[in-house]
Structure formats: structure tokens, C-alpha cells
Amino acid sequence: MNHWPAMLVDFVSDGWQLLSQFWLLIYILMEVIGIIFALESIFKSRTSQGAIAWSLGLVFLPPLVVPIYLFFGQRRFYGYVEARRKGDLEIQRIAQKMLAEMEQHFSLPGETPPGVQLLEQLALMPFTRGNRVNLLVNGDCIFREIFDAVDRAEHYILVQFYTVRDDRLGRELLTRLAKKACQGVHVYFLYDAIGSFSLTRRYLKQCRESGIQIEAFRTWRWFRRRRFQINFRNHRKIVVVDGREAFIGGANIGDEYFNRHRRLTPWRDTHVKLEGPAVQGAQLSFLEDWYWATGEVPEMNWHPVGVDCDQRVLILPTGPADPMESCQLMFLHAINSAQDRLWIVSPYFVPDESIVNALRLAVLRGVKVRLMLPGLTDNRVVQLSSYAVLMNLQHSDIKAYQYRPGFLHQKVVLVDDDRAYVGTANFDNRSFQLNFEITVMVRDRQFATEVEKMLEEDFRSCVPLRGEQIEQRSWLFRALVKLAQLFSPIQ
């Protein structure tokens, strides 16, 4: 008799059983790893919402979530903090020298309100006097001022952006920087490796051939411990010229900032131009990032000079390497210190419970709170998450508005009639926990009035947005809103 068919069936059956056992063992191993990572997320996560979101996925869907957690689950950025705080004596020496020379520009005793001293501790730098701050509205004004400053450079230019594109704006920046490099001006160009993932090799090659020192800020290092740090981003946008002028704000290098986006035009953004001792703070932030990316400490001008204006300014870099949640604490302080008015403008508004409760308390003590959010968006999931926040706030007196003409990308906070914040940070978990950000805080009534006029103009282009409107949408839409909120802590 021919036993081959029976033997073949037995062979296939045995092979299938072995394969099933193999995959069962793999699943058990992934489940064990998932439980271990879930415990780690509970002990190390900075927020309870994040710990819950990660733990559920790690325990119930380990084959899918364990690899994601391995790459995106870290909440502390390792390596940078050692170089910044205690690891590099050269940076420490520069920072100490800078602070010593800036002492004459520090706010005088009694000038700084006691509560504001908290921000100085977060920034590791006091408020400075003798500054001039100019408000720059939208791409044409922003880049006209930046390019004019670049053309005036005599010694060096520091350029840092989250997103750099090889398009018309990117090419114009390259042309101007290359021209200055040919004149002997040192150009240091830093971009985020993930935010600028589409930047072409041609662009990088032409930069280097022109004498521009261009480097990527990569948050992972394969040869170091904790190498899976790819969920962090350097979201800062800084330009410094000769240590005399600095530019900080929301705009990146891309044609969309010149209203050349097919869907999100017109693009609304805000930057500030700084002159005076505060420029040194922006320069120090760039130096720390450049050191992480290259291990080098280039020569810079560390001699602050005041200008014929006396605006008080604090530069506050924040990020996942900080020992505390500096960005979140900065915004919590802004909310808690408001006495009369609080206006918040953010393209990505997904605050955690502590921020939401602080907003509720501000309203209860009589503060008039306004929120300005985008109508058009480049991230639908984040927008849905923000709707969930508004649903939770619907029974408060917080007034929310949706900007209609185009994409609202500016990050601005106005407190009472004397304080304004302009920078790169959004009101979401990514800016609070994962991104390197930088914010300019200005304590000056004149500047606050300018910000007020700018935002009043923006509010005239908005429509009211109430939680009740979202509640009245279809059950499918509300389900998507709740689902997006569930995953907002790990976005």
C-alpha cells in the first residue's frame, strides 16, 4: 500500500502544530514583555492618561503595541541632559560667563513679581532689561525681516528650524546663506531629522559645498544606551545673527508660510524679533542643541548689549531633557497668574486634566478666558481630540473660537494687560512632554497692547465654537472624538 498520502498529512499536521506552538510561545513572550512595559509606563509615565493608554494596549494587544512602545514610549530624553546640566564644562563655562556679563541687564530688585521668579528658575536665567521686541505677523513680514538680518551678518548666523523644505522659500534661504558663507561669515544650520524628513540630498549637498555647516538634530543614537528615542522632536525655530538679533516663533521654512499650500492657505503665523541681552538666551539654546548634534562648541559673541528700549524679556527653552515638565509648568503659571484676561491661541489644543482644571479655576475667579483654534487643520486626529476638551469645558464660561480664513499656526498667549508669550509650543502633550520648544515671554504693556490688537483682528475672522455644537453632531462623529481623546496622551 502507498503510505505517502497519510505520511504527508501527518507531516503537515505535525508542522502546523509546531508552528502553532511556536507562535503561541511568541505571543506569550510578547505578553510578558507587554506586562513589563506596562508596569514601566505606570511607574515612569509623566501623566496618568498616558500610563492608562499605554498599559491597555501593551496588555491586550502586545504584538502590535510592544514595538510601538519600544520606539515611541520613552518620556525622558537621555544624553542631552548630561551635556546641558553637568556633562560639558565648556558649555557650563560659557553659560556662567554669559550670566556674569548679563548681570547689569538683569531686572532690578523688586521689579520682578514674586510669582514670575518661578519662570526664571525654569529658564535658569533671569528676566533682562534693555530689550526691544517687534511683533512679526505672517510669512511675508517674518521672512523679510529674517532675510534682511541675514544680509547684514558680519560674523556668524545661527539657523534652526523644525521643518526645512527644498522649495522656493528653502532655496531662497539657501541662496542668501551661501552668499554670506562665501563672504566669510560662519553659518550654522540645524534642522530636525524627522520634521525635515523630506529634505533632499541635493539641498544638503549644496549647503555643504557653499560652506554652510548644516546638521540634523537626531534624538536617537544607535551606539548609546536608550537608543530608541525617536518619538522626540526638536520643534524650535531660531535665527540669531552676530549675537545681536534673534528671531523666534511659529514659522518654518516652507512655501506654505507664503500661502502656497493648496488646501491650508492663507497660513496664519506669528514670530518675534529680539534685540538686546535676551538674544543671548536664544543663542545659548541653539548652542546646546548644536552641541548635542555635533559635539562642537563654535565661537559666538557672548557680550550682551542693551538697546534704546527697556522691555523685560525672558527666553524659556523647554524640553524632555528637563528634570521637570517645564513647558507645562510655564503655561500653568500663565493661567494661574491671570487676574483679568487670558487669551490662548494654539493650532493643537489638547491639554491634560491639570491645564483644563486650571482654566476652570481661572474662570471661577473672574478671568475672561478666550481660546482661538483652527478651523482648517493639518492633523484631523488632534482636532478631534480638541473637540473632546471643548465638550468637557462646555459648562464653563470659557469662550472658544474657530479661525476660518485658513490654517491658524501661531502659538500666542496673552495674560492681562502686561504679559505676552510667543514661541513654538502648542497646548498639547507633544509640546508638554516630547518636544524641545522655546518661548519668549515679554512683560511690557506696550507689547501686550500690540499683541491684543493683532489677536482682536484675528478674532474678527473667527466664529464661536461651543461644546454644545459638538454634542449635537452625529453619534459616529462623537465616537470618533472620544476615540481620538483616548489616544491623545500618546500622540
Q: Which of 105, 235, 271, 273 is catalytic?
A: 235
State phi, psi for 463 to the nearest 5 degrees.
-125, 150
Closest listed residue to residue 378, CA positions, set 402, 406, 351: 406
Per the annotation, the verdict on 453 as an active-site residue is no
Tell how strand 412-415 and strand 341-345 pair up. antiparallel
Alpha carbons 458 and 203: distance in angstroms, whole number: 36
Grid coordinates given for 282: 536664544
Per the annotation, the verdict on 411 as an active-site residue is yes
Closest listed residue to residue 107, CA positions, set 434, 442, 360: 442
Instruction: Identify residue 30 by its one-letter amino acid code.
Output: M
Alpha carbons 227 and 39: distance in angstroms, whole number: 20
Alpha carbons 122 and 438: distance in angstroms, whole number: 12
- Contact between 161 and 127 under an 8 Å Cβ cutoff? The reply is no
Closest listed residue to residue 40, CA positions, set 27, 28, 50: 50
DSSP count for the chain of H helices, then E strands: 17, 20
CA dihedral 72, 73, 78, 84 (to 10 degrees): 80
Q: Which of 192, 242, 269, 289 is catalytic?
A: 242
Q: Which of 411, 428, 444, 458 is catalytic?
A: 411
Q: Which of 88, 255, 378, 416 is catalytic?
A: 416
Alpha carbons 67 and 61: distance in angstroms, whole number: 11
Q: Which of 237, 271, 273, 333 is catalytic?
A: 237
Per the annotation, the verdict on 237 as an active-site residue is yes
Half-sphere exposure of 415 (CA within 13 A, CB side): 21
Tell how strand 412-415 and strand 427-428 pair up. unpaired
Three-state DSSP class for 232? coil
How far is C-alpha 346 from the geometric centre of its chain's CA atoms?
A: 11
Per the annotation, the verdict on 235 as an active-site residue is yes
Q: Which of 105, 180, 409, 428 is catalytic?
A: 409
Total residues found in the chain within this entry: 491
Beta strands of 80-230 (E only): which ranges?
A: 128-137, 156-161, 186-192, 213-217
Closest listed residue to residue 418, CA positions, set 393, 451, 448: 448
Closest listed residue to residue 390, CA positions, set 375, 400, 381: 400
Q: Burial letters for 166-175: b for 16+ Cβ neighbours within 10 Å, e otherwise?
A: bbebbeebbe
Closest listed residue to residue 462, CA positions, set 374, 369, 368, 359: 374
Alpha carbons 122 and 324: distance in angstroms, whole number: 8
| Vertex 373: Cα angle to 371 and 379 (nearest 5) | 145
Tell how strand 368-374 and strand 341-345 pair up. parallel
Q: Which residues have a catalytic role annotated?
A: 235, 237, 242, 409, 411, 416
